[in-house]
Structure 1
Amino acid sequence: MASAIQVSATEFSRGFGKYREEAFSTDVIEVTSHGRVIGGYLSAKELERYHRLKDRERQVLRVEDIDAALLAEIEAAEYGVPGE
C-alpha cells in the first residue's frame, strides 16, 4: 500500500476532484483540521479491504469448531504478517 497523504479539510473540499483521482494511487487521503486528522478518504480498493476486515471482526469461532487445517494455520501464523 502506498503511504497516505495528508491534506487540510479546506484544500480537500476545494480540490475534491483532484483528490478523488489521487486516491487511486495513494489508497488513503487523511483529512486534517488544525494539524490533526479528522477523517479520511479511501479508494474503492481500500474501502473493500475495510469492509472485509470489518466482516472478519464479527466472525465468531468456537474452539470445538476449529478443524485441523485452521489449527495448523493458526500455529504457523507470524505476528505482523498478513494471511492469504
Structure 2
Amino acid sequence: MRTSRIFAIAAIACAMAVGVVTTVCTGVGRAVGAVFRFGASLLEQRPPTPVDPNVESVSRPRVALVIARGFVRRLIKRERPVVMPQWRMCPSL
C-alpha cells in the first residue's frame, strides 16, 4: 500500500516537471523566434513606405459604421416568413 502511494506521488511529480519543462521550452522557443524575426527585418532594410497625408485616420471607423447601418436597415425592411397551414413543423405528424 505504501509503495503505491510513493509511486503515485512520483508520477504526479514527473507530470508536473514535464509540464514546467514544456512551458519553459515553448516560451524560450517563442522568444528566440521573435528575436530572429526582428533581426531578419533589420537585415532586410526596407525603405519606409510614405504616408499619404490625404487619408484621414478616422475614415475607416466611419465606413464601418455606414456599412453596419445599411445592414441593420436591410434587416428591418426584410419581410418575415408567413407560416402556412400546409407546412409541417414536425415530420411525425
Larger radius of gyration: 2
Give the structure-1-normalised TM-score.
Answer: 0.28
Which structure is higher in helix share?
2
Choose between structure 1 and 2 for higher RCO, CA contacts under 8 A separated by at least 6 residues: 1
Give the structure-2-normalised TM-score.
Answer: 0.26
Which structure is higher in strand share?
1
